A and B are shown apart, each in its own frame.
Chain A
Amino acid sequence: MNEDSLPEPVFSAVLDELIPARDSSLPGAGALGLGATVESRLGAAVALVASGLAALDALANTRKARDFVDLPREVRVELLREVAASHLGFVENLIVHLYSAYYQHPRVIEAIGLENRPPYPDGYELESGDLGLLDLVRERARLYRDA
C-alpha cells in the first residue's frame, strides 16, 4: 500500500458493510480483497471516497470513542448511512465499482450458480422452445398493408 492509498482497515470494513458476507462460505466484499480493484477504478472520485472514510472514522471517534472498525456491525451501518447522507457521492461512487468488481469475482460467480468461466468457448445450451405457441399467431389475418 502506498501513501496515497485509501486507508485500511476502514476501507475494507466499509466494503464489508456495503456487501456483507453472503454466508459462511463467502465473506464480505472487503474480506474478498476487492479494495485494490475498487480503488483503481475510482479515478477522480478517489478523493471523495477518502474524504468519506475520514469522516466516518472521525464520527466513530467523536460519538463512540472508538475506531470505525472496532464498532459493532449495527453501529457501523448506522454511521455509514449518516456519512453517506452528508457526503454525497461517497457511497454512490463506491458501489458502482464495487458491484462491478464483486460480481466478476470467481467465488461470487459460483455462489450465484454459474460456472466460473467466460462464455467462450463452451457456450451454453438453450432450449429451442415450443414453436407451437405460434399457432395462435398463424391463425391471424395478415398484419401488413399492401402498398
Chain B
Amino acid sequence: MSRRVSDELADVLIIGAGASGAAMAWSLAETRMRIVCLEQGGWMNPAEYPTTRSGWELERFEGAYTLSPNARGRREDYPVNDDDSPIKVSNFNAVGGGTILYAAHFPRLHPSDFRVKTLDGVADDWPIDYATLEPFYDLNARMMGVAGLAGDPAYPPKEPPLPPVPLGKLGETLGRGFNRLGWHWWPSDSAIATRDYEGRAACINLGPCITGCAQGAKGSTDVTYWPVARREGVELRTHCRVREITVNEEGLASGARYVDGNGHEHHQRAEIVILACNGVGTPRLLLNSRSGRFPDGLANSSGLVGRNLMFHPYAMVTGLFDEPLEGYKGPTGCSIISQEFYETDPARGFVRGYSAEMLRGMGPVSTALWGMSSNCLPWGAEHHAAYDELWDRTAGMVAICEDLPEPHNRVTLDPDLVDADGIPAPKIQYQLSENSLRMLDHAVARGSEVLKTAGARETWSEAPLRPAGWHLMGTARMGSDPRSSVVDPVGRAHDVKNLFIADGSVFVTSGGVNPTHTLQAIALYIADHIKKNLENLFD
C-alpha cells in the first residue's frame, strides 16, 4: 500500500459528513478557514433510490438500502459485531450519513432531559441546558427545514418554519383515539419540506422515507447543509476512511491517517480535528488511535471512551382496523407523536419515560410479510380474504424509551473483525436494564390501549425491536470533570485540547426522542464556541 502525505495543512479537519459533520462544516465555513471533511461513503443519487422503480418495497429488507451495515455489506460500510446485544446497530455511511435512511422525525429534547440527576435522581445532569441549545435548535430547524405546528404543550414555545406533515385519514383516526383517552398528541416535528423550501421540492407523500427520498424533500444533509457548505469553500473528500487520529509530540491532534477509495493511504494534517462519526464510529476511531502517549486510545484517560452506550429501546405495537386508512401514503414515521408518558411518574414503576410515535401503514409486500410473521395471513383458500382484511388497515406505534447510561454497555474493538481496509471493527456489548424492560412493558400496554381506543380490533407487539439500533449515544460523554467524562461542556476532549467531538457520542443521557435535531444543535453550538474563541482557543 502506498502512503502519501499531504503537505497542505487544514485549519479544521472534520471526520464524517453525516448529520453533525455537515452542520459543523456549514457553521465554520463563514470563518474562511481551510476546512476539509473526510467521509468514508460517497454521494447518493436520489434518482437511484428504490421508490423510483418497481420492486421498491423489498429493497427495504435486503440489499443496499437495508438498515444493517452487516446486511448491506457495501464497501463504504464497516461491519459491527453486535452479537452480544438484543438491539442491532443500524446506520448508513454516505454524504448525509444516517439522515439518508432516517425517517426524519425531528423532536427536540425537553428541559428536564438535561437535569435527570437533579429531577429524578438517576444518571447525570448535562453540563449544558435546554436554553443553551435553544437558539441552535431554531437555527438547525431553519437549515434542515422542519415541518411542525406551534403550540405543543409538551414543549417550551417553538415555531417550526414549515407547516406540518398532513395527518391524513390515519392521523385523524389515531388523534381521535388519543382524545378519547385524554392523552397528549401532536403533529410530529419532521425534517420534511411540506412546501418548496430552499431549493428542495415539496414532499409528495411517497411513503417510505427510510430508503432515501427520491423527491429530495426529506432533510438529509446531502441536500441541506452540504450544498451550502461546499459553496462556502469546505472541501469534502468522499470514499476516505480514517484509520487513526495522529498526535504530535505535544500531545495535540496533528491530523488523520486515512485510506482513499483506491486503497492509497494518506495523512491529512490539521490544526483542529473534529469527530462526527456517530456513537459507534467515534469511539471506534478513538480506540483505534493508540499511541505511546495514549496507550488506551485517544482522549481516554477517563476510561470512558466507548462506555455508557445508549440506544433507545423501542416497543412496537401494530393495530388492525376495520376501515382503510390510506396508510401507505405519506411519510412513514412522521404522523403524530404523543408525550403523555414522557416525564417521570413514580407510579408507573420506572423512571424517565418515552415518546410514542405513530406510524403509517404498510405497502403491499410489507403487509403480506407482516401478516405472515404475525400468523394472520394463512396460505390456501383463505389467503385472499385474510389479506383483504389486512391491506391498508394497519397503523402502528413505536415507543422510544429513554435509555439510561450504564458503563457496562459499551463499544470496544473486535479482536478479529475488520473492515475492507483492515481497520478493526467495533464490538457492541449491551444489555437492557430493568428500568428499560418495565418501560417497554408499559409502552406496549399503553400502545395497545390507544390503538384499540382508536378503533383497532386487534393489536400485535414486539419489544424490544431488534433492528432499532439507529440512535447511538453516550460513548464519549460530555461533562466538566475529566474523571467522569470524555469531552468538556463545549465538546473539546479533556485530554487533547484541539480535538472536538460533535455527535451523539457526547450525549450524557438519551432522552426519549430521536436524537438528530439535538446532535446537530450541539454541533452548531460547538462550532459557535470555536468561532467565538478562535483567537485563544488553545490557551
Interface check A4, CB cutoff 8 A: no
**Closest Cβ–Cβ distance, residue B303 to chain A (whole Å):** 29
Is A143 touching B369 in the complex (CB atoms < 8 A)?
A: no
Bound-state Cα–Cα, A80 to B347, Å: 53
Question: What are 30 inter-chain pairs, A to B, with CB distance below 8 A?
Answer: A77-B381, A96-B372, A99-B369, A100-B369, A103-B364, A104-B364, A104-B365, A109-B364, A120-B204, A122-B204, A123-B205, A124-B328, A124-B330, A126-B326, A126-B329, A126-B330, A130-B167, A131-B164, A131-B187, A134-B151, A137-B184, A140-B153, A144-B111, A144-B153, A144-B154, A144-B155, A144-B156, A145-B112, A147-B114, A147-B115
- Among B7-15, B34-42, B169-177, B434-442, which stretch is in contact with chain A? B169-177
Check A120/B52 contact, CB under 8 A, given A99-B369, A147-B112: yes
Contacts of A124 in B (CB 8 A): 204-207, 328-330
Of A18, A99, A118, A127, the residue contacting B166 (CB under 8 A) is A127
B-side interface size class: 35 or more
B368 x A136 contact (CB < 8 A): no
Give Cα distance in the complex from A108 to B153, angstroms.
45
**A91 CA / B372 CA spacing, docked (Å):** 12
Q: How far is the CB of A72 from chain B (nearest CB, A)?
A: 13
Q: How far is the CB of B65 from chain A (nearest CB, A)?
A: 14
Are A104 and B172 neighbours in the complex by a CB distance under 8 Å? no
Interface presence of B57 (CB below 8 A): yes
Asked if A95 is at the interface of the complex by the 8 Å CB criterion, the answer is yes
For A119, the chain B residues whose CB sits under 8 A away are 51, 56, 206-208, 214
Q: Does A114 contact B (CB under 8 A)?
A: yes
**Contact A22–B384 (Cβ < 8 Å):** yes
The 4 A-B pairs of least Cβ separation, nearest first, read: A129-B167, A123-B204, A124-B329, A147-B115
> Residue of B at shortest CB range from A122?
B204
User: Roughly how many angstroms separate A129 CA and B163 CA in the complex, as a whole number?
Assistant: 13
Task: Please give, as numbers and ranges, the residues of chain A lying within 8 Å of B111 by CB-CB distance.
Answer: 144-147
Q: How far is B329's CA from A91's CA once the two chains are assembled, in angstroms?
A: 32
B205 touches A121 (CB 8 A): no
Interface of A is mostly: loop
**Among B154, B168, B182, contact of A126 (Cβ-Cβ < 8 Å):** B168
Distance in angstroms from B1 CB to nearest chain A CB is 35
Q: A residues within 8 Å of B by Cβ? A: 17-20, 22, 77, 91, 95-96, 99-100, 102-104, 106, 108-109, 112, 114, 118-131, 133-134, 136-138, 140-147
A36 to B176: give the CA distance in the assembly, Å. Answer: 47
A133-B175, A144-B111, A144-B343 known; A103 and B367 CB under 8 Å?
Answer: yes
CB distance from A107 to the nearest CB of B (A): 12
* B507 interfacial by beta-carbon distance below 8 Å: no
| Cβ-defined partner of A118 (8 Å) among B56, B187, B379 | B56
A18 to B379, CA, bound (A): 5
Please report the number of residue pairs spanning A and B whose Cβ atoms sit closer than 8 angstroms. 171
Question: How far apart are B164's CB and chain A's nearest CB, in angstroms?
Answer: 8
Given contacts A114-B364, A120-B215, contact A138 B153 (CB under 8 A): yes
Interface contacts beyond A100-B369, A104-B57: sample of 10 additional A-B pairs, CB < 8 Å, sorted by A: A96-B372, A114-B328, A121-B204, A126-B330, A127-B172, A128-B166, A128-B167, A131-B187, A133-B175, A147-B130
Residue of A nearest to B168 (CB): A126
Q: Chain B residues with Cβ under 8 A from A136's Cβ?
A: 179, 182
Residues of chain B within 8 A (CB-CB) of A120 are: 49, 51-52, 204, 206, 214-215
B324's nearest neighbour on chain A, judged by CB, is A113
Query: Separation in Å of the A75 CB from the closest CB of chain B?
Result: 13
Contacts of A100 in B (CB 8 A): 58, 365, 368-369
Docked-complex contact A137 and B166, CB < 8 angstroms? no
- Contact partner, A17, options B56, B185, B380, B384, Cβ 8 Å: B380
Of all chain B residues, the one with the shortest Cβ separation from A26 is: B384
Pairwise interchain contact A95-B372, C-beta atoms closer than 8 A: yes
A39 and B253 alpha carbons, distance in the complex (Å): 55
Residues of chain B with a CB closer than 8 A to A104's CB: 54-55, 57-58, 364-365
Assuming A118-B51, A147-B129, is B380 touching A127 (CB within 8 A)? no
Within 8 A of A (CB), among B333-371: 339-340, 342-343, 364-365, 367-369
Q: Write the nearest CB–CB distance from B47 to chain A, whole angstroms.
A: 9
A105 to chain B minimum Cβ distance, whole angstroms, is 10
Q: Smallest CB-CB separation from B156: which chain A residue?
A: A144
Query: In the complex the two chains form, what is the Cα distance from A134 to B363 in whole Å?
Result: 28
How far, in Å, is A102 (CB) from chain B's closest CB? 7
